[in-house]
Amino acid sequence: MKIMSSPFQKQFSAKSPLNQTVASTKKPVDPDAPGTPNTDGYEPPVIREELDDKGKEIYDNLRKENDSLLKSGWNQKQINKMRIERHEEKKKKEQK
């Protein structure tokens, strides 16, 4: 990696994910990994246009369900909890 020497160049290189490290391990951040440096559990938002046809169908159905539940008085935390429980049940059934 080329070292940036001028103050003008340093201000941009410091912001680059390639120059950041994970605080707990001091290892360089993988720029292709999902997430933001120094945060746990973050994943970048899904971009519908990048999905295949089946993915778009799943995405659309989840958005419709989410909108419906939000209108009926649920909050996003409750919806996420319900989806995690549903996913765990599905995994248990598949293991049997």
Q: What is the pLDDT of residue 55?
A: 93
Q: What is the pTM of this model?
A: 0.51
Spans of all domains in the chain: 48-95
Q: What is the pLDDT of residue 46?
A: 83
Q: How many CA atoms lie within 13 A of 79 on its CB side?
A: 15
Among 3, 40, 1, which residue's Cα sits nearest to residue 23? 40
Q: Distance (Å, rounded) from C-alpha 57 to C-alpha 54? A: 5
Cβ-based neighbour number of residue 7 at 10 Å: 7
Q: What is the pLDDT along the chain (96 residues), one digit of tens a residue?
A: 455 556 555 555 555 555 554 455 556 555 556 666 557 666 667 889 999 999 999 999 999 999 999 999 999 999 999 999 999 999 999 987
Among 44, 46, 1, 42, which residue's Cα sits nearest to residue 22? 42
Tokens of 5: 């020497």
Residues 16 and 10 sit within 8 Å (Cβ to Cβ)? no
